[in-house]
Structure 1
Amino acid sequence: VPQGSSVSTNLPVMVFIYGGAFLMGGGQGANFLSNYLYDGQEIADRGNVIVVTFNYRVGALGFLSSGDAEAPGNYGLWDQHA
């Protein structure tokens, strides 16, 4: 929620799903030389929006598949479904 706004204010909601080629990343922002490349609080303040981010499994834990129909893999995509 932007600084100085109340939760009851009718603000648009921005859902941010991070990229990273399904290999790396996180919903809290990418940290480069101690600076976040994107910061949800700053986006909320500048854009006057409510920012929603979340994490999902990446790499082998999220997208490895054995070919078994009982365990099809792609758990990272399942994490993104509400």
Structure 2
Amino acid sequence: MFLDVHKVPFSEANLKELCASPVDEFGVRHVNLFYNKDTNVCFCLLEGPDMEAIEKHHSKVNIKCEWITEVSLARDFKPPI
């Protein structure tokens, strides 16, 4: 699971479509997108095999991320017994 941030070069409607997109050729799937309309910034929560796949996913559509980081979902966290 990866979280990234970047400017949004397309419409809000396109963001909604992306959330419903199937896994791409890099093995990346949109889990959810968080969009700040005032600043035109998008935070993407993506599932993918590795950082390189996430970078390729964005490069394919000429989007440069300010940063990308691997994350875990707190609700899925299982403490050691």
- TM-score for the superposition, normalised by structure 2: 0.24
- More contact order relative to length (CA 8 Å, sep ≥ 6): 2
Structure that is richer in strand per residue? 2
Q: Whose radius of gyration is greater, 1 or 2? A: 1
- TM-score for the superposition, normalised by structure 1: 0.24
